[in-house]
Amino acid sequence: MVTIEPIYGWPGPERSDTIFAICNAVFGQMDHSKFYSRMREKHALFTLLAVENGEVVGFKTGYDLGDGVFYSWIGGVLEAYRRQGIARMLMLEQHAWCRENGYRLIRTKTYNQWKGMLILNLQCGFDITGTAQKDSGRLQILLEKQLV
Ligand SMILES: CC(C)(COP(=O)(O)OP(=O)(O)OC[C@H]1O[C@@H](n2cnc3c(N)ncnc32)[C@H](O)[C@@H]1OP(=O)(O)O)[C@@H](O)C(=O)NCCC(=O)NCCS
């Protein structure tokens, strides 16, 4: 059975390494120091871990942008655990926490490459609010969900 564990603020080195390992498994090699500094510096970081039999199999993290806006930054589920509703559980839990904590809007970004996430975002009430052409040539898709 999957359980969802919340972490408020900096998760500490051990949990951050676990999250970083999932990022690498899901997105390919990421820049360790960039990832760590963003985790450490962001105000009111809120992370959810999906845990099965003591193993972290997925996560979702984000932070406060001020003015009642929460930024859902990054998340993923290990391949062997996909299509079991874990990302949906993480998202619903994040949205409930945001509501309880007075946020009025959740903002996120994704790419066409991450279609599963895009589809789940739309299913869970996000609207596409814009796009940005990145230097890499990729089109970034901006989404927002109103909570109130
Ligand atoms: C996107 C991701 C987090 C989804 O995780 P998951 O636990 O498999 O998602 P869920 O099982 O909760 O899926 C919920 C719904 O989302 C949709 N969905 C999820 N993955 C999908 C896919 N690959 N293709 C189409 N729809 C998908 C489906 O509607 C699904 O419901 P269903 O299984 O009943 O059809 C996971 O595939 C992942 O880690 N991908 C790579 C990383 C990523 O995209 N991160 C986000 C970057 S912005």
The domain ranges of the chain are: 2-105
Residue 10 has pLDDT above 90, yes or no: yes
Q: Provide CB contacts within 8 A for 106, sequence distance 6+.
A: 62, 69, 70, 71, 72, 94, 95, 98, 126, 144, 145, 147
Q: Is the pTM of this model over 0.85?
A: yes
- Ligand 1 close to Cβ of residue 90 (< 6 A): no
Find the mean pLDDT for residues 113-123.
Answer: 97
pLDDT at 43 (0 to 100)? 82
Share of the chain above pLDDT 70, in %: 100
Q: How far is the CA of 120 from the centre of ligand 1 (A)?
A: 6
Between the alpha carbon of residue 113 and those of residues 20, 54, 64, 110, 141, the distances in Å are 20, 30, 26, 8, 11
d(CA 85, CA 81): 9
Residue 68 neighbours by CB distance under 10 Å: 14
CATH 3.40.630.30 fits 2-105, yes or no: yes
- Ligand 1 close to Cβ of residue 62 (< 6 A): no
pLDDT per position as a tens digit, 44-93: 999 999 999 999 999 999 999 999 999 999 999 999 999 999 999 999 99
Q: How far is the CA of 71 from the centre of ligand 1 (A)?
A: 19
